[in-house]
């Protein structure tokens, strides 16, 4: 198992959080096999793999039933382990090949109106001092580029090209992409760099600690957890946005969804949005087109004189 996890880390370049989840899933798989009397990879049968999936969905005294998404991730980890073992010559067959992960119910991304995003950003910037400038810059950048939260907090100062109004984002698997930065986000980041980041950096021992773009109040790099807290606090202060939209349940991914949906609403090509989001397949991006179609349907139903019976 350790060899497979090393392979995922070194060769595939998966994120630390993903590796941690896979390790937890595989540890549970090993425990399940041990309880069934299976002691080695060559003793595992397809029925053991499918039985593990059933156990995940059913739960037991020590584990609650897993959701479809979590069970699917665990099965993907197990399938990857068996495929790795086959390619490495450890087993003669891939017994997990025919065991398919459960298919999650299709959920449409959540997006909020532009006016609600503006209210959120204004609430973030309402905090006095360097923190308000930092928080506003962070949320402007998240919404203005569609960056994942891990990509945003992982930015170095040099990743932002203010002359070209663009930012270099490191996505999943270490894949980099260049994304334009709009004037609002660029101005907010510039204000933060000039008026706030030096003060935050000075609180750290020895002044500036590394080249991280977003710093915490101790002068170190801002963490994902802290970025989440910044958004949550701003959402609570903003309360309700346009049309009474409740903002307190917003997440960084909501800003990413809104970025994509608003681009498509404005006429952007889905393949351009795919590149901006860093999706490997346009199929992943096309789910946003369903959102815009639903919105068009709502407008049509409420506006056209012959739309309703």
Q: Indicate if 29 belongs to the active site.
A: no
DSSP string, 192-254: HHHHTHHHHHHTSTTS--SSBSSB-TTSSBPPHHHHHHHHHHHHHHH-B-GGG-B-TT--HHH
Q: Indicate if 253 belongs to the active site.
A: yes
SS3 161: strand
Indicate which residue of 28, 134, 262, 279 is catalytic: 279
Q: Indicate if 83 belongs to the active site.
A: no
Q: Indicate if 257 belongs to the active site.
A: no
Residue 260 class from Cβ within 10 Å (0-12 exposed, 13-18 middle, 19+ buried)?
Answer: buried
Q: Indicate if 279 belongs to the active site.
A: yes
Indicate which residue of 27, 39, 253, 271 is catalytic: 253
Indicate which residue of 148, 197, 257, 262 is catalytic: 148
CB 255 within 8 A of CB 277: no
Indicate which residue of 82, 256, 257, 262 is catalytic: 256
DSSP string, 62-127: SSPPPPHHHHHHHHHHHHHHHHHHHHTTS-SS-TTTT-PPPPPPP-PPP---HHHHHHHHHHHHTS
Distance CA 194, CA 184 (A): 16
Q: Indicate if 172 belongs to the active site.
A: yes
Indicate which residue of 172, 177, 232, 237 is catalytic: 172
What is the SS3 assignment for 18-39? Answer: HHHHHHHHHHHHHHHHHHCCCC
DSSP state of 307: S
Catalytic residues: 148, 172, 253, 256, 279, 288
């Amino acid at each position: 198992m350790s060899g497979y996890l090393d392979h995922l880390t070194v060769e595939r370049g998966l994120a630390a959080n993903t590796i941690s989840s896979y390790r937890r899933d595989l540890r549970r798989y090993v425990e399940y096999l041990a309880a069934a009397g299976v002691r080695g990879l060559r003793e595992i049968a397809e029925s053991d793999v499918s039985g593990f999936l059933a156990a995940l969905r059913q739960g037991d005294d020590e584990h609650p039933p897993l959701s479809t998404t979590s069970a699917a991730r665990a099965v993907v980890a197990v399938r990857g382990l068996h495929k790795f073992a086959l390619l490495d010559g450890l087993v003669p067959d891939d017994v997990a090949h025919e065991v398919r992960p459960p298919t999650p119910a299709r959920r449409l991304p959540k997006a909020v109106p532009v006016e609600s995003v503006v209210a959120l950003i204004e609430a973030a910037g309402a905090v006095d001092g360097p923190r308000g400038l930092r928080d506003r810059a962070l949320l402007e950048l998240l919404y203005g580029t569609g960056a994942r939260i891990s990509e945003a907090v992982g930015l170095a100062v040099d990743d932002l090209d203010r002359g070209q109004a663009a930012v270099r984002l490191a996505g999943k698997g270490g894949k980099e992409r260049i994304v334009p930065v709009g004037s609002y986000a660029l101005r907010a980041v510039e204000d933060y760099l000039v008026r706030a980041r030096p003060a935050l950096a000075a609180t750290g021992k020895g002044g500036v600690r590394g080249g991280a773009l977003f710093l915490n109040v101790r002068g170190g790099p801002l963490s994902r957890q802290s970025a989440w807290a910044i958004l949550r606090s701003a959402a609570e202060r903003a309360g309700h946005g346009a049309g009474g939209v409740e903002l307190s349940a917003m997440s960084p991914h909501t800003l990413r969804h809104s970025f994509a949906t608003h681009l498509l609403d404005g006429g952007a090509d889905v393949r351009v949005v795919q590149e901006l989001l860093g999706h490997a397949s346009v199929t992943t991006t096309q789910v946003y087109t369903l959102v815009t179609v639903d919105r068009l349907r709502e407008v049509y139903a409420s506006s056209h004189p012959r739309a309703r019976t």
